[in-house]
């Protein structure tokens, strides 16, 4: 899963999506922190990373107009 974004980019996902839309902008990769080890209690793993990454995704998608379609692709679970 972690390589999914790279593999889709190598396969030309932006080009394919661009052909199907009247207007398409690839904003690139969001600055998502990699989780290298589980932290926190078993009932709430990696919550600080989740919050940080949700903020990064929100910031990246805030560059898109409110009537535009947002497509996010992630390889992390």
> 23 in a domain, yes or no?
yes
Q: Who has greater pLDDT, 1 or 51? A: 51
> 41 in a domain, yes or no?
no
Instruction: Give the Cα separation of 47 and 25 in Å (integer).
Output: 31
Question: 3-state class of 43 per DSSP?
Answer: coil
Can you give the pLDDT at residue 76?
63
Q: Name the pLDDT band for 11 (thresholds 50, 70, 90).
A: very high
Residue 17's domain spans which residues? 1-27+47-77
> 72 in a domain, yes or no?
yes
Taking the chain, what is the end-to-end CA distance rounded to the nearest angstrom? 8
> 39 in a domain, yes or no?
no
Kindly state the average pLDDT of the residues 14-43: 83
Tally: H helices and E strands in the chain: 3, 0
> 35 in a domain, yes or no?
no
> 42 in a domain, yes or no?
no
> 54 in a domain, yes or no?
yes
Can you give the pLDDT at residue 10?
92
Residue 60 and residue 71 in contact, taking contact as beta carbons nearer than 8 Å: no
Distances from the Cα of 39 to the Cαs of 34, 49, 54, in angstroms? 13, 9, 17
DSSP structure class, residue 63 = T
| % residues pLDDT > 70 (the chain) | 94
Total domains present in the chain: 1
Q: Name the pLDDT band for 1 (thresholds 50, 70, 90).
A: low
Residue 5 confidence (pLDDT) above 90: no
Residue 62 confidence (pLDDT) above 90: no
């Amino acid at each position: 899963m972690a390589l999914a974004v790279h593999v889709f980019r190598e396969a030309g996902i932006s080009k394919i999506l661009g052909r199907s839309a009247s207007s398409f902008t690839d904003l690139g990769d969001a600055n998502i922190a990699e989780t290298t080890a589980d932290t926190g209690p078993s009932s709430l793993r990696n919550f600080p990373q989740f919050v940080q990454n949700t903020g990064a995704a929100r910031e990246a998608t805030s560059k898109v107009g409110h009537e535009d379609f947002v497509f996010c692709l992630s390889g992390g679970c």
